[in-house]
Amino acid sequence: MLCIVGIGHMGKAVLAGLARNGSQELTAVVRDESRHAQLAAEFRTVRFVTSPVPCDGAVIAVRPKDVEVAVRQAVDAGAHRILSLATGKTLSGLREIAGVPVARAMPNLGANLGMSATSVCAQDSSTLDWAAEVMSSVGTVVRIDESQIHAATGLAGSGPAYVLLFAASMIEAGVAQGLSIDVARELTIATVQGAGALLAQGDPEETVNAIAVPGGTTQEGVRVLKERDLPDVVSETVAAAARRSKEIMQEMNS
Ligand SMILES: NC(=O)c1ccc[n+]([C@@H]2O[C@H](COP(=O)([O-])OP(=O)(O)OC[C@H]3O[C@@H](n4cnc5c(N)ncnc54)[C@H](OP(=O)(O)O)[C@@H]3O)[C@@H](O)[C@H]2O)c1
């Protein structure tokens, strides 16, 4: 049985994926009992409790500042292993608190739809296998060394926000060019979905070069993005988020 501790934005997204997957018994720890009835109606197969219960493993989906207490509570209740989704708390820090095998995962909000890009790391291979299996029910999983977690956080943990912001700008730009908001939104959704599928098929720059024929409209649009140095902006964006991940780690472990 798997215990999910903390049903906020990320805990709920992961719970949704795990519940849809349906491969294991799930208990979710929500301290505020007044939320239970609504959550139970949403997740009919999940048991909701106010504090951890004995379980094979606990997924800790609380804010970094709350990790220590949540891990202690889960282990005291009998969790055999811990998978932390929190930014910052290191494997060695988690192990010191937990005293049982620990793993970390960095998912993103795509987990809600079973489409997370999740990085996982652990101190031993069987815990890594377990963490990868748990997180595979909410999307794509890559196994990384813990030293890469800031890069993975900057790229994918925070990544949906970058793409959504780009899409929001496309919608606004469509409206500025005279489309209704509904039409601009529908066109943008389909465009982003199509671009995601194209990305999975091959090298993105090659695809852009194939579409952006000389004298055409795409080439003219791409010219502006390149002149404004989109790669540089994206690079700075990912670097800033990765740097913040490192800072949170330093704050958490100092
Ligand atoms: N959001 C993202 O896109 C994202 C992406 C990757 C990783 N993460 C990581 O996921 C973690 C959770 O983020 P979030 O955005 O989901 O935060 P959030 O929305 O604030 O949710 C955290 C939840 O944890 C609960 N909680 C705190 N201590 C608890 C305890 N001891 N037992 C049970 N529940 C407890 C809180 O409940 P109360 O209301 O009772 O305080 C709250 O519902 C963070 O560490 C973050 O670094 C988030």
Nearest-angstrom CA–CA distance, 239 and 155: 8
Q: Which atom of ligand 1 is nearest to the CA of 11?
A: 16
Give me the pLDDT at residue 88, please: 87
**Ligand 1 pocket mutation pick from 31, 165, 244 by most atoms within 8 angstroms of CB:** 31
pLDDT category of residue 252 using cuts at 50, 70 and 90: confident
pLDDT > 70: percent of the chain:
100
Q: Which atom of ligand 1 is nearest to the CA of 160?
A: 3
Nearest-angstrom CA–CA distance, 19 and 43: 7
The tens digit of pLDDT for each residue in 195-234 reads 999 999 999 999 999 999 999 999 999 999 999 999 999 9
Q: Which atom of ligand 1 is nearest to the CA of 66?
A: 28
**Ligand 1 pocket mutation pick from 15, 53, 63 by most atoms within 8 angstroms of CB:** 63
Q: How far is the CA of 189 from the centre of ligand 1 (A)?
A: 28
The tens digit of pLDDT for each residue in 25-72 reads 999 999 999 999 999 999 999 999 999 999 999 999 999 999 999 999
Give me the pLDDT at residue 22, please: 84
- Dihedral sign, Cα of residue 250, residue 7, residue 113, residue 55: positive
User: What pTM does this model have?
Assistant: 0.91
The tens digit of pLDDT for each residue in 66-86 reads 999 999 999 999 999 999 999
Give me the pLDDT at residue 253, please: 72
Taking residues 101-125, what's their average pLDDT? 95
| Model confidence at 21: pLDDT above 90 | no
Name which residue sits closest to atom 27 of ligand 1, judged by CA: 62
| Model confidence at 23: pLDDT above 90 | no
Ligand 1 residue neighbourhood (C-beta within 6 Å):
5-11, 29, 31-32, 61-64, 66, 69-70, 73, 85-87, 106-109, 157
Reported as type and span, the H/E element at residue 193 is helix 181-201
Give me the pLDDT at residue 47, please: 97
For residue 113, give the DSSP letter.
G
pLDDT > 90: percent of the chain:
91
| Model confidence at 254: pLDDT above 80 | no
Sheet holding 47-49, edge to edge: 47-49, 26-29, 2-5, 57-60, 82-84, 102-106, 116-122, 139-143
Which three-class secondary structure state does DSSP give residue 23? coil
Q: How far is the CA of 50 from the centre of ligand 1 (A)?
A: 15
Give me the pLDDT at residue 81, please: 97
Contact by Cβ (8 Å): 74, 82: yes
Taking residues 103-113, what's their average pLDDT? 93
Give me the pLDDT at residue 235, please: 98
Tokens 């292993």 appear where? 81
Q: What is the mean pLDDT of the chain?
A: 95
Nearest-angstrom CA–CA distance, 187 and 1: 43
Contact by Cβ (8 Å): 157, 108: yes
For residue 48, give the DSSP letter.
E
